[in-house]
Amino acid sequence: MTAPIVLGSTSRHRAELLRRLLADFTQAAPGVDEAARPDEAPAARALRLAIAKAAAVARTHPQALVIGSDQVAELGGAVLDKPGTPERARRQLRASSGRTVRFHTALCLLDARSGVRHTHVDLTRAVFRALGDGEIARYVEREQPLDCAGSFKCEALGISLFERIETDDPSALVGLPLIALARLLRAAGHPIP
């Protein structure tokens, strides 16, 4: 019998993605402090937080395979956190206009029974087209991407902001790299499909 799967996230976007692979899983809030550490590289921060989320949920689900994931957006070496306000979202999008934003999406699959963990970090490059202030304002008003790293939702209208997206896994940009997750689940003995 395979272990139950728990997604260590309250994100509905991650849950929707995971439903592409699995019909049966539960979600649990990890309750992890996501503050950056001094001089922490974006990919390292994403991986640290994915591991921390999986570990936090594993403590309350000791018989489960726990999935933790985190995404950090980077523009010119600076992290683009979730904007939280429309003004910050507009500012982030103005800064991203005509430039490439790198998204580091980390994944941790932790077998709470054995403590064995498997990890992966995906790198996606989103190349923004030149954006005018009016279209940025309209986009932010319509989408309200205040809880999204980089201030956009590529699974919705945000796709119109790009020239192109360079990635090995298109689901990673939404927040859960499914190609890697399917591989990690198979390695942990959970059949996919």
Please say whether the beta carbons of 72 and 104 come within 8 A. Answer: yes
- pLDDT given at position 153: 84
Omega before 193 within 30 of 0, i.e. cis: yes
**Nearest-angstrom CA–CA distance, 106 and 40:** 15
**At 59, is the secondary structure helix, strand, or coil?**
coil
User: Which residue has tokens 């591991």?
Assistant: 51
Structure-token pair, residue 69: 């994931």
- pLDDT given at position 191: 86
* Residue 114 CB neighbours (<10 A): 9
133-162 pLDDT per residue, tens: 999 999 999 999 998 888 988 888 999 999
Which segments of the chain have a pLDDT < 70?
1
* Residue 70 bears catalytic tag: yes
- C-alpha 54: how far from chain center: 14
User: Which residue has tokens 């990673």?
Assistant: 172
What's the pTM? 0.92
Q: Sign of torsion, CA 46 174 33 55?
A: negative
Selecting among 70, 111, 122, 169, the annotated active-site residue is: 70
**Nearest-angstrom CA–CA distance, 90 and 151:** 8
